[in-house]
Structure 1
Amino acid sequence: MGSVSLKIGDGTARFRRATVCSSAVNILMILSVVTTNLFALYSFSSSPKHPHTHLHLLHKNFSLISEQVSLILREIDMSQKELAQIERDLLGYESLDLSRPNIANELKLFLRPHQLPLGRDSKTGITQMVSSVAHSCDKSSDLLSQYMTYNLFQRCPDDWSMAQKLILKGCEPLPRRRCFAKTISKVGLLHPFPNSLWEAPLNSTVNWSGLSCKSFECLKDRKLSRDCIACFDLINGYENHRFLKSKSKNDFLVDDVLALGSGGIRIGLDVGGGSGSFAAVMAQRNVTVVTSTLNLDAPFSEFIAARGLFPLFLSLDHRFPFYDNVFDLVRARSSLDGGARPEKLEFFMFDIDRVLRAGGLFWLDNFCCSDEEKKRELTRLIERFGYKNLKWVVGEKPDSLGSGNTQIVLSAVLQKPVRV
């Protein structure tokens, strides 16, 4: 697959990767050298009748070889440049040029490499620390520079929505900043744990800037996504019954899933977990769950935190910031859908597999398939991982967003095998 590296030293952050194209150029160079050597060998091995004629032909052959080599080298150089340009066009990025006048000074300072104070580290072999920034940030350099423009050691602009916009554009991780994020006093306003799990937070504990709703009352009946329909109503809605009572055969109950884990479920990851109700139900069963989320038209992160749970502000395209084989349980809903690109779904599934320990459970919860072909593709992909099928249910549901269409829904509990 190649690799992407960040090199900063001459004011430019470059991203390079090895490709099939570069391998083809190397093969072409080898063939050219072999051909030239064979041509030279033929010239030297021939024995003409007249010595003077031989010297003349030898000189002529040398000139011809020299011209051929020069021509081959020029063609190789042109091919490399053309292939490099094609690669840049396909990848959509080449460099983050920090010398451009519109780049904020804070961004330049953040990306500048810093030498280790004691020189080379004997354990890692590194001599300097280099800050990271996503390669897709180059496409949003103006917006990124605006994000990095602020008053040093003062309060940051109230621009969390700009940060989220950059993240959704693939500019993730974002650079750090040297300013104070906007704070909201929550002293004495948060409910004590575990009461906080099912008591609605106060409106005054949330930053509502950049959102269409300005209160939780406004959000109670909102259909924000297939996974969040009135999910902010913890009192009168269905949210406090989810995972405890089923509406259909595809709705698995938490206690049934935990029983499949044979008592070995302690920590879990909920991918795109809405308002955090799954984590709340699991917390009541002494299981710690991290909920990945974004504030898409609602304050999901602050709401989850106000419930005494762990929100992870992360897009679905970002590699999970966890070590390998650490979670006992990973749950994912429709957020697993990779859209029209099967490779995107494969990358996502492999990252889930990476953080899930051997013997851990992968809970695919009400995954919506647009048609039978989509279901077959997902089924074939899951089979390639070799998971043990503990529970598998396929059903049909009307689209929860009210489109009037009926969707194929897949729910499954799968156990990761031990691979040697």
Structure 2
Amino acid sequence: MASDSPLKSKPPYSSNILFLFLVLSTNLITLFLSSSFSSCALKPSTTTTAAATADPATPTTGSNLPYASTEDTSNLPAEFLAFASGQLLPFGYNANFDSNTIYPPVGQACTLFPDLLRRFMSYKVNGSCPDDEFLAQRLLLKGCEPLPRRRCRPASNPNYVEPYPLPKSYCDLNIQINTETPMASDSPLKSKPPYSSNILFLFLVLSTNLITLFLSSSFSSCALKPSTTTTAAATADPATPTTGSNLPYASTEDTSNLPAEFLAFASGQLLPFGYNANFDSNTIYPPVGQACTLFPDLLRRFMSYKVNGSCPDDEFLAQRLLLKGCEPLPRRRCRPASNPNYVEPYPLPKSYWSTPSDSSVVWTAYKCKNYDCLINRKKNHKGFDDCIDCFDLQGNEKNRWAKGKGGGLDFGVDEVLGFKKPGTIRIGLDIGGGVATFAVRMKERNITILTTSMNLNGPFNSFIASRGVVPLYLSISQRLPFFDNTLDIVHSMHVLSNWIPTTLLHFAMFDIYRVLRPGGLFWLDHFFCVGEQLEEVYGPLIESIGYKKLKWVVGKKLDRGPERREMYLSALLEKPLKNSW
């Protein structure tokens, strides 16, 4: 055989026998599992073994629906009620919320486990949180998602050091493979099967298993037959809660007013393989906002569709539910509306500063029906719109944060980054970031920023994605979906201000502190307040959290007249590197 023959490195006969054995054994295992744990064979016991008070992991209601079955709140911790109860907006009715009350989103299943919840919400306000990561994850995996916000400082390592700067941090902890040392001619690795043999082996194992699984399920007596019926729209006022309590959960186990598709998603579901140690249960509760069931008429409209079909074009309805505390929204089994003439976005970096095609958006929910209207609405539209000039990338957005303005309220990106070692600000979040110009500025400096935004009379999330940065469709009230001590920087401009109830703002400020790593930066940009509010309320509130002040600039807002005594605060705050807990 020629020395360069590809057959020289083929697997020996014993390897072929092993290959055949693996294929047959994995197929037999697949067949066994698919039959043993099918929905027909699985018949869980209906008996209970312990009282709910004895085991904190046991729901306190006999229903498998993740909401409390009583308005009695005596078993719920006071700090949970302080966060989760509906709070009056300081300026009254708000058209975006369609209400004068804001319901902070918290997972439906949280109140099913009052003992776990009580432990999680037991801490000294403005003090240190318990070191309870395992407890937090246990609650989250039980469907208490999002977790309630807390007003305490998260646990952190007292010996924390600054992270490696980019790009060193990318691979510093990865296994380093020495590719410069030549392989010895007699190395046993030289005769390993070629790459194509490995691919063939993997393909055969996967394909035969899939065929086995398909055959065993296709001819099972219990084929999946999803309901395709839709429910009718309700006639009552959809904005009126169905319970007198201001707590965002239903006050009855009666589910007759809830849509079938919501029950299909939100009801506890038995795990196919029984008890799971990670969930500490044999049941999984899909997370859904606790306030969802307060608005059954809105919920019924949102969950009315043909399974496996097209979703209704109902972005406005979805956002209305979300802003009422139904966050996260329940998942749906339908395809979302999209523009039939959609075209590919501009490539990077052109997309950063280019207005995307009108065909990238479904315009039904908005007054404007194209980007030209949005770009010119400051000139043509009378009245208030959120971030009214944001879509004009050649206007104010072009220079926003590019440079600081001589010690004033407007800090520049490079000025802020100059407070830290080069490369150590790598990842972060912009809360209520409009069209994500802040994220684009940072991306141009190799820093990844995620941007939270709602679609308040404009396709903000679609526009952000078209620019090539990542949008997060989250309300200001939701617990931030990041682990403790992870982000290098958090920025927020205009959104955090005196329109938010003070208690909720306190929770939000601590949540920002939670997700920042030790040494991380919080850039509070143009915080709006009036009169003595800064000195008497907001200054002490911010200072109580534990930040180190790097910059603190207060300026008057005079565009509506000095008699209003309106002002802005711009601050750059640092989470302590040591002893942040």
Calculate the TM-score normalised by the size of structure 1.
Answer: 0.76
User: Which structure dedicates a bigger proportion of its chain to strand?
Assistant: 1
Q: What whole-Å deviation, never above 9, does each CA across 1:278-312 have from its counterpart, x for those lacking one?
A: 11111100001000000000000000000001000
Paired position in structure 2 for 1:143 = 298
Letter in 1 for 2:67: R
Q: Name the SS of the counterpart of 1:302 in structure 2.
A: helix
Choose between structure 1 and 2 for higher RCO, CA contacts under 8 A separated by at least 6 residues: 2
Q: Are 1:266 and 1:287, in contact at CA under 8 Å, matched by a contact in 2?
A: yes
Paired position in structure 1 for 2:399 = 241
Query: In 2, Cα distance between the equivalents of 1:115 and 1:131?
Result: 11
Of 325, 348, 353, which aligns to 2:508? Answer: 348
Matched, 1:216 2:371: yes
Offset at 1:102?
3.2
Q: Are 2:258 and 2:293, in contact at CA under 8 Å, matched by a contact in 1?
A: no
Q: What whole-Å deviation, never above 9, does each CA across 1:300-333 have from its counterpart, x for those lacking one?
A: 0000000001000011011111111111000012
Offset at 1:391?
1.0
Query: In 1, Cα distance between the equivalents of 2:320 and 2:298?
Result: 9
Matched, 1:179 2:339: no
Q: Which moved more, 1:111-120 or 1:149-158?
A: 111-120
Of 407, 410, 425, which aligns to 1:265? Answer: 425
Matched, 1:18 2:76: yes
Q: Are 2:262 and 2:330, in contact at CA under 8 Å, matched by a contact in 1?
A: yes
Query: In 2, Cα distance between the equivalents of 1:346 and 1:247?
Result: 30
Of 76, 92, 110, which aligns to 2:265? Answer: 110
Regions of 4+ moved over 6 Å: 5-8, 224-227
Offset at 1:122?
3.2
Of 126, 134, 148, which aligns to 2:289? Answer: 134
Offset at 1:381?
1.3
Of 371, 389, 407, which aligns to 1:230? Answer: 389
Query: In 1, Cα distance between the equivalents of 2:533 and 2:505?
Result: 15
Q: What whole-Å deviation, never above 9, does each CA across 1:246-298 have from its counterpart, x for those lacking one?
A: 46710000000011122210011000001111111111000010000000000
Q: What whole-Å deviation, never above 9, does each CA across 1:60-104 have from its counterpart, x for those lacking one?
A: xxxxxxxxxxxxxxxxxxxxxxxxxxxx85543452656443321
Query: In 2, Cα distance between the equivalents of 1:97 and 1:160?
Result: 29
Query: In 2, Cα distance between the equivalents of 1:225 and 1:384?
Result: 34
User: Residue 203 and residue 406 in structure 1: after superposition, are their counterparts in 2 closer, same or farther (change >3 A)?
Assistant: farther
Offset at 1:111?
1.6
Q: Name the SS of the counterpart of 1:336 in structure 2.
A: coil
User: Residue 13 and residue 129 in structure 1: after superposition, are their counterparts in 2 closer, same or farther (change >3 A)?
Assistant: closer
Calculate the TM-score normalised by the size of structure 2.
Answer: 0.56
Query: In 2, Cα distance between the equivalents of 1:291 and 1:341?
Result: 23
Q: Which moved more, 1:316-325 or 1:130-139?
A: 130-139
Letter in 1 for 2:373: C
User: Which structure dedicates a bigger proportion of its chain to helix?
Assistant: 1
User: Residue 105 and residue 331 in structure 1: after superposition, are their counterparts in 2 closer, same or farther (change >3 A)?
Assistant: same
Q: Are 1:280 and 1:309, in contact at CA under 8 Å, matched by a contact in 2?
A: yes
Of 397, 409, 414, which aligns to 2:568? Answer: 409
RMSD: 2.7
Matched, 1:288 2:341: no
Letter in 1 for 2:302: Y
Query: In 2, Cα distance between the equivalents of 1:338 and 1:200?
Result: 33
Paired position in structure 2 for 1:314 = 474
Letter in 1 for 2:505: L
User: Residue 286 and residue 408 in structure 1: after superposition, are their counterparts in 2 closer, same or farther (change >3 A)?
Assistant: same
Paired position in structure 2 for 1:44 = none
Query: In 1, Cα distance between the equivalents of 2:67 and 2:301?
Result: 21
Q: Which moved more, 1:162-171 or 1:7-16?
A: 7-16
Offset at 1:155?
0.5
Query: In 2, Cα distance between the equivalents of 1:287 and 1:102?
Result: 48
Percent of aligned pairs with the same residue?
41
Offset at 1:349?
0.4
Query: In 2, Cα distance between the equivalents of 1:225 and 1:362?
Result: 28
Matched, 1:101 2:256: yes
Query: In 1, Cα distance between the equivalents of 2:287 and 2:529?
Result: 36
Q: Are 1:9 and 1:112, in contact at CA under 8 Å, matched by a contact in 2?
A: no
Of 362, 379, 383, which aligns to 2:522? Answer: 362
Q: Are 1:98 and 1:108, in contact at CA under 8 Å, matched by a contact in 2?
A: no
Task: Return 5+ residue gaps in structure 2 as ranges.
Answer: 1-55, 79-242
Query: In 2, Cα distance between the equivalents of 1:330 and 1:118?
Result: 41
Offset at 1:407?
2.1
Paired position in structure 2 for 1:328 = 488
User: Residue 183 and residue 221 in structure 1: after superposition, are their counterparts in 2 closer, same or farther (change >3 A)?
Assistant: closer
Q: Name the SS of the counterpart of 1:301 in structure 2.
A: helix
Q: Are 1:246 and 1:252, in contact at CA under 8 Å, matched by a contact in 2?
A: yes
Matched, 1:198 2:256: no
Letter in 2 for 1:110: F
Q: Are 1:8 and 1:112, in contact at CA under 8 Å, matched by a contact in 2?
A: no
Q: Are 1:369 and 1:375, in contact at CA under 8 Å, matched by a contact in 2?
A: no
User: Residue 188 and residue 164 in structure 1: after superposition, are their counterparts in 2 closer, same or farther (change >3 A)?
Assistant: closer
Q: Name the SS of the counterpart of 2:76 in structure 1.
A: coil
Q: Are 1:8 and 1:113, in contact at CA under 8 Å, matched by a contact in 2?
A: no
Query: In 1, Cα distance between the equivalents of 2:280 and 2:255?
Result: 32
Paired position in structure 2 for 1:75 = none
